[in-house]
A and B are shown apart, each in its own frame.
Chain A
Amino acid sequence: MVALETRNLSRQFGAVQACRDINVRLLHGEIVGMVGANGAGKTTLLNLITGYLKPTAGQIFYMQDDITGLPPREVSRKGLARSFQIPQLFSSLTVLENMLIAVAGTRREHRDFWRLLADRRRLDEAREILDLFGLLPMEHQAVDQLPQGARKLLDIAVAFAQHPKVLLLDEPTSGVSTSDKFPVMDTIIAALRQQGVTTLFVEHDMEVIARYAQRVLVLHEGRIIFNDLPQRVFDDETVRRLVVGQRARGRTGLESGPGGSPKAAVPDA
């Protein structure tokens, strides 16, 4: 069954065609990676799908519903959440407070002006999600004092708190140190698998793509130029030249990834 689908989705900024005729289909429970050079239109596509930008043409279907033109607020309420390349958090508040606001917002309790934000029910749920993402030990830390990796995780945890059916991750490992990126991604993917969340993640890091994506979309100058298994995508001459770069082939980790069997994430062709 199709969880998310775009049909001929296009967006123009003046003379620049940021996205043109994009047709994407995500099946239930799929974890799909998206790569593309800077300016290829990856973030624009996420902004279009979540309603932050209005498409100049095309349609978006979420669970067979046409959601084209809905604002982010309503798209989110339907269960289509996203994380951000630069974490979008309430930076003067603590980790726990951020999560509590996410829980209260998801439950549509924004009119509650009397009970504590940190009441028992909300607190239990918030802590449960923080624990899932390994953030519980730093729950009382202010967000602006967190290391980048933790901030990135919290940004995704906040989106996860919305019980999404489809989650769009914008570069989950950018700004995360090389030694942290696999543990961070392992945590995220484990949580998403556990809930069966359909996921599309934008990524620059080919090792991460190779290890976690079941399928890869390649975006170039606003078009999807490739849609296949990671192995085939990396082997393709055009993709290597335009997006991945020549050196990347040996670094994809397909032969031997650190700590485990990356092949497990990639079904055999």
Chain B
Amino acid sequence: MSTGLLPRTGAFPAFGTVALGILAVLGLLLTDWAAFVFTVALAKSLIVLGIILLMRAGLVSFGQGLYVAASAYAAAFASRLWGITDAFVLLVLGVAVSVVLAVLVGPIVSRYREIFFAMLTMAVSMVLYGFLLKAYSITGGTDGIGMREPTLLGMVVSGIAARRAYYYLSLLVAAVAVYGAHRLDHSPLGYMVRSIRDNDIRLEYLGVSVRQVIFSTYVLAAALAGCGGVLTAFALGHITPDLANWTASGEYVFIALFAGSGNVFAPVVGSIVYQFLQTYAAKYWPYTWHIAMGAAMLLIILFMPEGLWGIYERITAWRAGKEATVVARGAATDGRVGDA
């Protein structure tokens, strides 16, 4: 969340390429259950990325579940009612539904900041939650609905192969999103989003509509949540109204704080670590795992306010400092040699 971590150069970091490469290789090595955990984490990382973009403007959305659920249900209905099974078509459809919804909700929420923004986004999301819950004849209520197995470019994927397919599909979408977010970071819109926290009055005096900047970011975040929603539906195969519940939205905010908002890769790393922590915590403390997660969060907030990504930042800063010392020492030595 620190503004000291603003990107300074436009080049796509080598770290990101390496990390994405490692994830691509991992897809071949992972056991089935681990591949599933990774897939769910990658889908979540997209939603978290959207939250982080909004956080840069000082806005916390507690209602991204709205777009996750809307796109997931849209994909499920499209596959059940219209027999659309192609994964890419469903993905585009889900994102389109999220974007249309965000364009309708955006003008209202973009007028608000701080706690009012957080509460309003949550409230809108709870409206959808209520509808999904009560409209039993359409949505199946709390039972939720099952997805038909999607196809990939005309190929039917099922069983074990499907796990890998969803993994790579999620990785592909996450990679594209991270690259896009990286471009955004260095673009005029990206700078203006961060400038809102710095000085929104000056931004208005530059002729820029702060509301429009917030609106654009909100729609982008919704599109990302839409991607995450459809990918989650693919991975789970069955979706319930819980996707729109505030507890789900809260979880994404939790991951965003856990991961740190300093970098566009943070959500990917943070989501994977979070998902594994949660999986193991639930395995070893089946009744008290929430306490374990809470303790992990407490430690992060107390000792690493920049989130998990802060560790990476600190290591690079420490290494840069060490190098600088070495260079300085070298220069001092050269000076002495020169004098002699």
Which A residues lie at the B interface, using CB under 8 A? Answer: 50, 52, 71-74, 76-77, 81-82, 88-93, 97, 100-102, 104-106, 108-118, 158-159, 162
Known: A73-B205, A116-B186. 6 other contacts (CB 8 A): A82-B205, A89-B202, A101-B188, A105-B207, A111-B212, A117-B187
Contact (Cβ within 8 A) A113 B187:
yes
In the complex, what residues of B have CB within 8 A of residue A50's CB? 205
Task: Determine the residue in chain A with the shortest Cβ distance to B3.
Answer: A92
Would you mind naming 17 contact pairs between A and B with Cβ atoms under 8 Å apart? A74-B207, A76-B204, A76-B206, A88-B199, A90-B195, A90-B202, A93-B6, A101-B195, A104-B192, A108-B207, A110-B192, A110-B213, A113-B183, A113-B184, A113-B220, A114-B187, A158-B206
In the complex, what residues of A have CB within 8 A of residue B198's CB? 89-93
Q: Report how far A112 CA is from B187 CA in the complex, Å.
A: 6
Contact (Cβ within 8 A) A110 B205:
no
With contact pairs A92-B4, A93-B198, A158-B202 given, residues A115 and B187 touching in the complex (Cβ less than 8 Å) = yes
In the complex, what residues of B have CB within 8 A of residue A105's CB? 188, 192, 203, 206-208
Q: Report how far A93 CA is from B192 CA in the complex, Å.
A: 11
Which of A72, A114, A116 is in CB contact (< 8 Å) with B205?
Answer: A72
Contact (Cβ within 8 A) B207 A77:
yes
Is B278 positioned at the interface, with any CB of A under 8 Å from its CB? no
Contact (Cβ within 8 A) A71 B191:
no
Q: Report how far A89 CA is from B213 CA in the complex, Å.
A: 18
Is B140 positioned at the interface, with any CB of A under 8 Å from its CB? no
In the complex, what residues of B have CB within 8 A of residue A111's CB? 189, 212, 216
Is B141 positioned at the interface, with any CB of A under 8 Å from its CB? no
Which of A77, A91, A112 is in CB contact (< 8 Å) with B189?
Answer: A112
Contact (Cβ within 8 A) B199 A114:
no
In the complex, what residues of A have CB within 8 A of residue B220's CB? 113
Contact (Cβ within 8 A) B3 A110:
no
In the complex, what residues of B have CB within 8 A of residue A71's CB? 204
Contact (Cβ within 8 A) A89 B199:
yes
In the complex, what residues of A have CB within 8 A of residue B216's CB? 111, 113
Contact (Cβ within 8 A) B190 A117:
yes
With contact pairs A93-B198, A104-B188 given, residues A114 and B183 touching in the complex (Cβ less than 8 Å) = yes
Contact (Cβ within 8 A) B195 A76:
no
Task: Determine the residue in chain A with the shortest Cβ distance to B216.
Answer: A111
Query: Interface size class for chain B?
Result: 20 to 34
Is B335 positioned at the interface, with any CB of A under 8 Å from its CB? no
Task: Determine the residue in chain A with the shortest Cβ distance to B209.
Answer: A73
Q: Report how far A89 CA is from B186 CA in the complex, Å.
A: 19
- Give the number of residue pairs across the A-B interface with Cβ within 8 Å: 103
List B151-194 residues whose CB lies under 8 Å from chain A. Answer: 183-184, 186-192
Q: Report how far A102 CA is from B199 CA in the complex, Å.
A: 13
Q: Report how far A74 CA is from B205 CA in the complex, Å.
A: 8
Q: How distant is B231 from chain A, measured CB to nearest CB, in Å? A: 22
Is B10 positioned at the interface, with any CB of A under 8 Å from its CB? yes
In the complex, what residues of A have CB within 8 A of residue B209's CB? 73, 110
In the complex, what residues of B have CB within 8 A of residue A118's CB? 10, 186
Q: How distant is B110 from chain A, measured CB to nearest CB, in Å? A: 14
In the complex, what residues of B have CB within 8 A of residue A110's CB? 188-189, 192, 208-209, 212-213
In the complex, what residues of A have CB within 8 A of residue B205's CB? 50, 72-73, 76, 81-82, 88, 159
Q: Report how far A156 CA is from B3 CA in the complex, Å.
A: 24
In the complex, what residues of A have CB within 8 A of residue B183's CB? 113-114
The 4 closest A-B pairs by CB, nearest first: A105-B206, A92-B3, A104-B188, A113-B189
In the complex, what residues of A have CB within 8 A of residue B212's CB? 110-111
In the complex, what residues of B have CB within 8 A of residue A114's CB? 183-184, 187
Q: How distant is A185 from chain B, measured CB to nearest CB, in Å? A: 22
| Best-buried of B187, B199, B204, B205 by chain A (most CB within 10 Å) | B205
Task: Determine the residue in chain A with the shortest Cβ distance to B187.
Answer: A113
In the complex, what residues of B have CB within 8 A of residue A82's CB? 205
Q: Report how far A112 CA is from B230 CA in the complex, Å.
A: 27
Is B201 positioned at the interface, with any CB of A under 8 Å from its CB? yes
In the complex, what residues of A have CB within 8 A of residue B186's CB? 116-118
In the complex, what residues of A have CB within 8 A of residue B189's CB? 110-113
Task: Determine the residue in chain B with the shortest Cβ distance to A155.
Answer: B202
Contact (Cβ within 8 A) B201 A88:
yes
Contact (Cβ within 8 A) B208 A113:
no
In the complex, what residues of A have CB within 8 A of residue B10's CB? 116, 118
Contact (Cβ within 8 A) A76 B207:
yes
Q: How distant is A87 from chain B, measured CB to nearest CB, in Å? A: 9
Q: Report how far A135 CA is from B51 CA in the complex, Å.
A: 36
Q: How distant is A65 from chain B, measured CB to nearest CB, in Å? A: 16
